[in-house]
Structure 1
């Protein structure tokens, strides 16, 4: 598909169905086509005995893809929905098809996942290796009571890209944005666990100043979006998951301050992908689309 579009993976699972409907709404708001991708492959260790068996598996993939296209068109009548059937693993198919995509959307757990597994391999692999925003839609339908988007800010380049993405999404969805800077320092602990010879209040003020400086340029570029700021002494993963309980979307960078450059997904990002009850957008500082769309 030439030109910007929203790309969504669909394998027929309930989580994929929720991701598909979310992606259809997103594509409609963007005024962009939706590409529905289904990856099929021979599912057994031993190869097929002849082309007929392989064709049966491929045909099952075609049927699944047609069902996904139908669901998307029902969710967003009038939307330009285009099918893509790929042979291979779902992560490889989505990454290969994402060259012109503005956004990739996947379900948290696919058809092959265990019932108690909160996150499947595709929902980890695609955000880790993509170079554009990836939204992971949870397996259970979230109980959204408000129209707001939550974004985690720590001053890193990835969190700045996440903020720009969150503000654009808020403008599309007619939502407000809650900025969360979760400041944590062992120096602030009471009792014997507190670090000696430290100035917790001074460190806190420095962190607040970095927070304000980080968000100012992006907020100035989007004055139409209502913004609430939260600066809290709490573990980032925990507070972001709590804040997302009634949110439309939680937005985080792929890795934050202190993460190794070789780390594909930081600890906070991995935590919220597993625990957040809302869809989670993972944004990369190397993503050129975030700059172009701001």
Structure 2
């Protein structure tokens, strides 16, 4: 679905980015793709400043850091084809531009309670047209994917089933169906009858998952319907997940939001690794 030429990972020497290195190396090996390790460096002065020695020193340090990241991957995956990319500028723009043909873009992530609004983990998936994976400390459990009948959710299902097959993990498809503000006016009566809501939304969930069960018959998959909001359902599921996979935007989202409300909440608060999947591919 997201056929790319390589897996891209951002590296800045932090423990979070070293986790991202390990994740991305495994992804590249499983997907039989080369790995691109990217480090972005910034000039210490405005362009008008003429201290070339200072600029050269910062660029040199960036090169050393990048080489260290590449060597870490080489130690763990000696047969993997690895390319280092040293780019001038901020990490957001570097990864956005370098990732245009990536199978996925992998980044380290702050702990859930310490993420600033300007975090690359929030900005990048809102603009990238490729899957963005924000890696957190390893956890056990299934691959969890959010379902709501949207195009973004179908793309997320495809990514999640492939990930479950590659990692040989079970998959849980979760639908938090309590969204009175999302459906057309004609469907509002569903929220006065919980049994009918479960019947209608359960059918949506089963239809969404069915084609992927055919494509990935060896994946152990189950569907989970919750009569709570999508945000509540997915945050609860994230507590037991190895990876949680969501579309960039669901049904009934506010256009002005960078990410859909549920996806934004998961990137900020989920304890596990979060994969954000765009509904469109550039």
Aligned residues: 271
- RMSD (Å), alpha carbons: 2.5
Equivalent pair of 1:167/1:177 in contact (CA under 8 Å): yes
Q: Which moved more, 1:198-207 or 1:148-157?
A: 198-207
Q: For residue 7 of structure 1, what is the aligned residue in structure 2?
A: 8
Q: For residue 191 of structure 1, what is the aligned residue in structure 2?
A: none
Equivalent pair of 1:104/1:135 in contact (CA under 8 Å): yes
Which runs of 5 or more structure 2 residues have no equivalent in the other structure?
Answer: 182-188
For 2:65 and 2:208, how far apart are their aligned partners in 1? 45
For 1:72 and 1:119, how far apart are their aligned partners in 2? 30
CA apart distance, 1:218: 2.0
- Following superposition, which runs of at least 4 residues in structure 1 exceed 6 angstroms of deviation? none
Q: For residue 227 of structure 1, what is the aligned residue in structure 2?
A: 221
Q: Which moved more, 1:258-267 or 1:13-22?
A: 258-267
1:123-167 residue CA offsets vs partner (Å, 9 max, x unmatched): 1111111111110112xx24x233x21101111110011001100
Q: Which moved more, 1:276-285 or 1:117-126?
A: 117-126
For 1:233 and 1:44, how far apart are their aligned partners in 2? 54
For 1:210 and 1:253, how far apart are their aligned partners in 2? 16
Q: For residue 156 of structure 1, what is the aligned residue in structure 2?
A: 150
Query: What are the residue-to-residue correspondences of 1:71-90 with 2, within 5 Å?
Result: 71-90=72-91
- TM (normalized to structure 1)? 0.84
- TM (normalized to structure 2)? 0.88
Q: 1:145 aligns with which of 140, 152, 166?
A: 140
CA apart distance, 1:4: 1.1
For 2:199 and 2:190, how far apart are their aligned partners in 1? 19
Q: For residue 255 of structure 1, what is the aligned residue in structure 2?
A: 249
Q: For residue 29 of structure 2, what is the aligned residue in structure 1?
A: 28
For 2:191 and 2:205, how far apart are their aligned partners in 1? 24
Query: What are the residue-to-residue correspondences of 1:9-158 with 2, within 5 Å?
Result: 9-43=10-44, 48-109=49-110, 116-117=114-115, 121-138=119-136, 141-142=137-138, 144-146=139-141, 148-158=142-152
Q: For residue 192 of structure 1, what is the aligned residue in structure 2?
A: none
CA apart distance, 1:197: 9.2
